[in-house]
Structure 1
Amino acid sequence: MMLLMLVAQLDTLDRVAAVVDDKAIWLSDVDERALLYAATYGIPPEQLPNLRREVLQQMVNTELLYLKVREDTAIHVSEDEIRRAVDMQIQQLKGNMSDEEFAKKLQEAGFTLDSYRRFLWDDTKRTLYIQKYIEYRIKPKIRISEKEVEEAYERLADSLATPPEFKLAVITLMVRPSASVEQEYYAKAKRIYQQLKRGAKWEEMVQKFSDDRESAKVGGDLGIVPKNALPPEFVREIERTPEGSYTKPLRGPQGYHIFWVRGKRDDAFLLSHILVRVKPSERDVQETMKKAKRIVKKLKSGYSFAKMAQRYSDDPVSKANGGELGWVSARMLPPDIVEELKKAKPGEIVGPIASPDGTMINIFKVMDVQEGKKPTKEQIRQLLLNQKIEEELNRLIEEAKKDYYVKIYI
């Protein structure tokens, strides 16, 4: 939950993100949801601008659907139904945490239990109305024939098969740039910083130099970034930097960041950045690969994988467990690694394999394998049902756009 915060505290940075009919959707609400999603799925701060736009569009579409559903006066959701659904969501989030632990987690996210309940209430109300409309107005009209199921099964069964899973242990070696390579990229970042200090236009410098091409599309905008999503040394430097000014180049895992400090609040900053990505040289990759091959040779001669992982791996999480990752879906791995793992039997060593960007080299031990499975025909039937429901919902959204005022401002 490290990315969460109460964006509503940033009221002086708030503005209307969209209007649907007579309802304003505030940027703080969009950011609140985007940050929750980012925290849940581990999305890095530099991807928040794109996520913000996706969340806003989803909120607009949900509001349009809700307006269309409320036209049907026979569809009703009671406050008791909303309360039970909210309680269930809170209980699922709480899991096995004690009341004190849960309160602390909520506090880290900027919520009390009551404020979090209020946060969930309106979204839950809209979701329940839409779900009831689907159940009583859409599903009864949908017919799926056996022929449709058979044809879809023949067409989709292979592509929808669950991927294999591998029980893995890993030794990860980070490819560290040599001192000369590091100095080269630092000098580049420093030149950019000096040009900015002399009055170069931020937008032009972002487009010309930033290696974060996603955020470059929006001028390097990272949006509202919680302090606890940043390394402590970044926080200290940003706090020292006056609003409207630029930080000196700061070294992060990907390279050097230059931040434009656009705003500050107690728990967060409003930031844009230029990233100068530090890329190891081919020689750096070759030297690390030589080290990896020596490790593989020892493993194949009988050395303990767990002990070698604890000694050599640069991944602190798996290293603490002797390199063990547990079960990993093939969907979570690059295709070239999956192909190599498929060839291996339990107990075998796979690698070393360099990552596509050349920043790390992995050595795997395949501990067990579970083959993928094709979906059942009943699952295919459910897929067809969901597709037809989605088509009808999209039709309703398009219809609502003609019936209700919609304006998006960001």
Structure 2
Amino acid sequence: MSDQSVPDNTGLNLPTNLQIFGKVDPNVRKPTAIVNDSVITGTDVDQRVALIAMANEGAKLSPEDRDRLKLQVLRQLIDETLQIQEAKTADITITPAELTQSYDAVSKRFNRTPATMAAYLRQTGSSDRSLKRQIEGELAWQRYLRRRVEPFVNVGDEEVKGIIDRLEAAKGTDEFNLKEIYLAGNATNGQQVYANARQLIQEIQKGTQPFESYARQFSEASTRAVGGDLGWVRASTLPPELAQATQSMQVGQVAGPIEVSGGYSILYLTDKRQVLTADPRDARLSLKQLTLRFPPNTSQAQAAARAEAFARATKDLRGCGTVEKVAAGIGADVVDNDTVRIRDLPPQLQEVMLKLQVGESSPPFGSAEQGVRALVLCGRDDPQSGNLPSSEQIQGQLEQQRVNLRAQQKLRDLRRDAVVEYR
């Protein structure tokens, strides 16, 4: 038999060339648990899965994806139960009136009344009870952190000054806007977690849901609540494994699974800039947009012909003052917008708009279904040189980071002390 031993980097003093006795599949588990005498039922899990699917615009899940999501949801419900229980030890209880108020606010965001929201949730396989339970967990944990953690987080003036000094010294270095999904893994389940991460990346790359939705569903880091957002960071502040991956990524790219301490990370690079350096993509543009809509059932050939005629017309523009006249001649609509940042445009248009002079038009863009468009540049306000964040901003960011770290540590302690019985 070949040697199956691996170096023990876990600190668990594992035997070399170990053998598994018995047949155990950790993924075969009924979705029911008792957490310190609080019961989580299979219905609780099914309704939360349906709630996640509803929040992601009715995402269709394969049987395999649904089974994997059920296990993830069960872990989240266990954490949620532990958080609510711990909040109650600090005399924090979310009242029915507070739950109703928050539930009504969520209903409004979905353009529904509380009554029609409840009916809609039942129709999708969830319930208002499941949504209110999620709201209760989030509110209880937030208040617990404010009462038991935040008062003991301190950031000194010297520490803030040190960061400002380091920012000035780092001027011109790259800074990355990252989102992360962290999946906890150990020597026992590491291979399965890695496989799950690979499958998750494949789903993300299909583009059916935004990265943030997957982060809220699957990430086991405290940033799950904010869609995995790590904010703007420099490579030097990241763990070495993440720093190496980040520096080789392109904007819009997803990378992973990246093995890190305690599990695996999936990274999404949403933007990139240089510290305290003005970025041309932060320029604000004054634009006129011309839109030529196509009749229904327009063929690709007809669309191409009309787009070519549209291109000839926009090429003859003589500044923004002639836009309305040209638009009237070709039957196009005109919309003004004076607040567009270049970085907020699709990547293909960013490169085009960076090169345009005032009064010039972009090449036509669009589709046979949605018509053809062009952007005419009427004015441009270039960004000022990058400014240092204020001391108050830096202090707030540091305090939030430390609260998040202590929240993770507290949740790990609660998990270790919990009595969880699966049924």
Quickly name the TM-score band, shorter chain normalised.
0.3 to 0.5
Q: TM-score, normalised on structure 2?
A: 0.46
Higher relative contact order (CA 8 A, sep 6+): 1
Q: TM-score, normalised on structure 1?
A: 0.47
